Amino acid sequence: MDTDQVSGRWDANKGACPTRQVLSRIGDTWTMLVISTLERHGTMRSGQLKAAIEGITQKMLTQTLRQLERDGVVRRDVVPTVPISVSYTLTPLGQSLGVAVATMRTWAYDHMDEIVAARNDYDDRPTAEE
Amino acid sequence: MDTDQVSGRWDANKGACPTRQVLSRIGDTWTMLVISTLERHGTMRSGQLKAAIEGITQKMLTQTLRQLERDGVVRRDVVPTVPISVSYTLTPLGQSLGVAVATMRTWAYDHMDEIVAARNDYDDRPTAEE
């Protein structure tokens, strides 16, 4: 029972498994928003991403893009315009991650009403234990 | 182009959209590990969850379970044993979230080698820009 759904070498339930850090990275909200925004729009410049993702700071966007580039999820291209500009595109690896992120995002959209109803129920309960 | 993949009322790219907070919650690493562990094992007590998820503190586990219960994702049952014990089970809503979380977890397992290779490439590059 302990081994099903665990994929041979990897098990994020183990503290030292490197997939836990990857899970933490890809589950980050800014990361998910950058990935799904690039998936939707294709190649984008940093300023376009910043405009498309309300509330992201330049620092957080730069840091997120750099980590995604390092992980091979995003490709950074220097465009020889004047002045030089830089564009970002999902790699094939990033596109496959985009599918997983879309599943999470779609789940949130599809179940938001149920979550709100559950919260209202919970908050209305007498708190016998407290 | 701005409206595709955006589901009518919800758009996590907007700072005030409540789905952004839900995305942040469900993308949290401890949340994903609790959900996938409950999905794998069915009903579990808090101590069993703590043992199954290396490194989670009691405080973080309790907080994660309480938020998931409030969101309607996890059901908390008081079991009339001596002493009384408490068990946790995914609700149908939680099971549907389990599918999305499994997609993220499986992606991390399936692509760990590619990510490691990409990081090595990145770190070996001359850093012309710095």
User: Is the bond into A83 cis (omega within 30 degrees of 0)?
Assistant: yes
Q: What is the full per-residue pLDDT of chain B (130 aa) written as tens digits?
A: 444 455 688 999 999 999 999 999 999 999 999 999 999 999 999 999 999 999 999 999 999 999 999 999 999 999 888 888 899 999 999 999 999 999 999 999 999 999 999 999 999 988 655 4
CB–CB of A69 and B32 under 8 A?
Answer: no
Q: What proportion of chain A, given as a percentage, has pLDDT over 70?
A: 92
Q: Give me the pLDDT at residue B129, please.
A: 54
CB–CB of A5 and B102 under 8 A?
Answer: yes
CA–CA separation, A100 vs B102, rounded Å?
9
Q: What is the pLDDT of residues B100-124, one digit of tens each?
A: 999 999 999 999 999 999 999 999 9
For residue A46, the distance in angstroms to the closest alpha carbon of chain B comes to 15
Q: What is the pLDDT of residues A21-67, one digit of tens each?
A: 999 999 999 999 999 999 999 999 999 999 999 999 999 999 999 99
Q: What is the pLDDT of residues A103-130, one digit of tens each?
A: 999 999 999 999 999 999 999 988 655 4
Q: Give me the pLDDT at residue B23, please.
A: 95
ipTM for the complex shown? 0.89
A13, A109, A117 member nearest B10 (Cβ): A109
Length reported for chain A: 130
Contact B38, B94 (CB under 8 A): yes
Contact B37, B14 (CB under 8 A): no
Which residues make Cβ contacts (< 8 Å) with residue A14, sequence separation at least 6? A20, B54
CB–CB of B7 and A106 under 8 A?
Answer: yes
How big is chain B by its Cα radius of gyration, in Å?
19
Q: Give me the pLDDT at residue A129, please.
A: 54
Instruction: Break chain B into its structural domains and give their ranges.
Output: 18-124
Q: Give me the pLDDT at residue A4, please.
A: 45
Q: Give me the pLDDT at residue A7, please.
A: 60
The yes/no answer on whether domain A18-124 falls in CATH 1.10.10.10 is yes
Task: Please list the residues that pair with A89 across neighbouring strands.
Answer: A75
CA–CA separation, A24 vs A27, rounded Å?
5
CB–CB of A13 and B110 under 8 A?
Answer: no
